[in-house]
Structure 1
């Protein structure tokens, strides 16, 4: 009875982690950015390439994995063997939970290299957007707010 409940708790925790992952596209703003003034620079896209943006690494994934692994391990054997299996299960579960969290929250990104009108060439990485795509030669705007930049058309 406890194992299904614990598995549900683990999956719920990982879904929460995935839901808390910030959007890194060029068309999503945080609450702090929404009303802040932005610096706008103009430029021309020189190149575009797909990249991976690594997922989050919080304590939730390893903690949930360790709990599930520890409980699963405690059901193995008896006495001292059960205690050892509990520790091994918790360690292995923590590692699996950490890997699962990072994998679930990993996203497809795009690296956009822009020759800005002031002569500077800079590369920007942001999450791929379904609404906006970039190609060499596109004229773009680089919006910077609170030290974070994004590329838009």
Structure 2
């Protein structure tokens, strides 16, 4: 009876951790800034949208895999007794990790767009970001770059 209670406690803890850490997922939106990006100077370049292509941005987080492994390991440890329980835990963790990783990528995927831009300098660049701002070919834009992160926004 104690191991069942302990297993449930671990499962609830894993699920709670998942909920808390899901808020840490990074966004690829031009509208969202992290606290470390605020109050920092950025380079701004002007240009025009040449083309837009719909893309899907998948999560690169291993959180789903970790949580799946924990849940699978707990569930598998309840199979059998002694060494059978250990084998069940290993198999459960392996299967749970693989399933959790696959599910996590789909759950955290977002609709995005690849913008091909002609800058005023003549340079042609591409930026991928979430599809939360509407753009059309020929539209004037600005590219705001901080370090390795660039965002495309309307020039208005």
Normalised-by-shorter TM-score class = 0.7 to 0.9
Aligned residue number for residue 31 of structure 2: 27
Aligned residue number for residue 41 of structure 2: 37
What are structure 1's unaligned runs of at least 5 residues?
A: none
1:72 Cα deviation (Å)?
0.9
1:145 Cα deviation (Å)?
1.4
Q: Secondary structure at the match of 2:14?
A: helix
1:14 Cα deviation (Å)?
2.6
Residues 38-67 of structure 1: CA deviation (Å, up to 9, x unaligned): 211111101111111120323x43332222
1:115 Cα deviation (Å)?
0.9
Q: Secondary structure at the match of 1:20?
A: coil
Provide the C-alpha distance between the structure 1 equivalents of 2:148 and 2:89, rounded to a whole number of angstroms: 46
Q: TM-score, normalised by structure 1?
A: 0.85
- Of residues 75, 87, 91 in structure 2, which corresponds to 1:88? 91
1:2 Cα deviation (Å)?
4.3
State whether residues 17 and 105 of structure 1, in contact with CA within 8 Å, keep that contact through their aligned partners in structure 2: no
Q: TM-score, normalised by structure 2?
A: 0.84
Q: Which runs of structure 2 are paired with 1:1-153 in the superposition (5 Å)?
A: 1-58=5-62, 60-129=63-132, 132-153=133-154
State whether residues 25 and 61 of structure 2, in contact with CA within 8 Å, keep that contact through their aligned partners in structure 1: no
1:4 Cα deviation (Å)?
4.3
State whether residues 33 and 146 of structure 1, in contact with CA within 8 Å, keep that contact through their aligned partners in structure 2: no
CA RMSD of superposed structures (Å): 1.9
Provide the C-alpha distance between the structure 2 equivalents of 1:81 and 1:40, rounded to a whole number of angstroms: 61
What are structure 2's unaligned runs of at least 5 residues?
A: none
Flag the 1:145–1:91 CA change in 2: closer, same or farther, 3 A: same
Flag the 1:23–1:57 CA change in 2: closer, same or farther, 3 A: closer
Paired residues in the alignment total 150
1:135 Cα deviation (Å)?
0.9
1:3 Cα deviation (Å)?
4.7
